């Protein structure tokens, strides 16, 4: 794989989902990983009971796993109805209620990257109004992230799977990053480069890496087609990861793929065990 220069983190919201949430950190550790990331785990609760937060924190600490990334509340993932911060009404209110809760949880575990997903376009409200709401909420998120020494991530999804999402290209996501940084003056918004989503959009991945590696705060990978592990599709991850390194990206690479029909622990054969731990 030629990936020894990269640090890998396992997304426990798409891998190890055959296990209860609180058992997943230990399972990732048993598979050789010391770093994990999560979508917001409580899809119906932007502000869950403190006991739920404490239990997950304990599970991560007991497993010896570092939390490297966390989504703000974004509804039910995965699926076409994802994202909340640009959706007027209840969903954006849920996002705002979640911001300080998510930031506080991240801070308690030393997590320094928070992903803020745009929402789908909705009828009856202009695109301009939705984008203005998004920018206001992203400023709120960026300020919360800044208080804990973290970055806020802006991710491009893909148009085939999320046709109503307005952020479905690398240039558009980076444009939002620049808007947030200009509005806050904090310079802590960064691009989340998800190579699966970008490949689904038909983008030139080598060109995206060359152009945007410098503003990238996190990378996620899955093969295409199928969103499986590297080697199950057509993407050349030896080349892509090498290009990321060449262009100066030295952050985490999140494994955000579907494990296939078997247990998640069996989906890591492409990555030699000595390369799974954080360097």
Q: Looking at the annotation, which residues are catalytic? A: 155, 256
In 128-247, DSSP assigns E strands to 151-155, 189-194, 216-221
Supply the DSSP symbol for 176.
H
- Phi and psi, residue 97, nearest 5°: -65, -30
Residue 272, CA distances (Å) to 36, 225, 233, 269 in order: 17, 23, 19, 7
CA–CA distance, 224 with 71 (Å, rounded to integer) = 23
How many CA atoms are closer than 13 Å to the CA of 166, on its beta-carbon side? 18
CA–CA distance, 56 with 142 (Å, rounded to integer) = 24
Token reading at 160: 């085939």
CA–CA distance, 258 with 247 (Å, rounded to integer) = 28
């Amino acid at each position: 794989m030629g990936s020894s220069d990269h640090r890998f983190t396992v997304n426990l919201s798409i891998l190890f989902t055959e296990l209860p949430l609180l058992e997943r950190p230990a399972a990732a550790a048993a598979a050789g990983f010391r770093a994990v990331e999560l979508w917001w785990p409580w899809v119906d609760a932007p502000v869950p009971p403190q006991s739920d937060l404490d239990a997950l924190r304990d599970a991560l600490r007991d497993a010896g796993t570092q939390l490297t990334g966390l989504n703000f509340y974004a509804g039910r993932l995965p699926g076409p109805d994802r994202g909340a911060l640009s959706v007027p009404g209840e969903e954006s209110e849920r996002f705002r209620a979640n911001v300080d809760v998510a930031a506080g949880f991240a801070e308690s575990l030393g997590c320094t990257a928070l992903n803020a997903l745009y929402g789908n376009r909705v009828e009856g409200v202009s695109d301009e109004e939705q984008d203005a709401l998004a920018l206001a909420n992203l400023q709120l998120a960026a300020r919360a992230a800044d208080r804990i020494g973290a970055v806020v991530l802006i991710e491009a999804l893909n148009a085939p799977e999320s046709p109503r999402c307005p952020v479905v290209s690398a240039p558009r996501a980076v444009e939002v990053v620049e808007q947030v940084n200009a509005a806050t003056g904090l310079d802590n918004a960064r691009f989340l480069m998800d190579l699966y989503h970008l490949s689904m959009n038909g983008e030139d991945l080598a060109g995206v890496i060359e152009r945007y590696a410098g503003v990238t705060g996190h990378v996620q990978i899955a093969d295409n087609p199928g969103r499986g592990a590297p080697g199950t599709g057509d993407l050349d991850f030896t080349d892509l990861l090498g290009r990321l390194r060449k262009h100066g990206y030295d952050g985490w690479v999140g494994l955000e793929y579907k494990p296939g029909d078997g247990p998640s622990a069996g989906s890591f054969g492409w990555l030699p065990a000595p390369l799974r731990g954080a360097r």
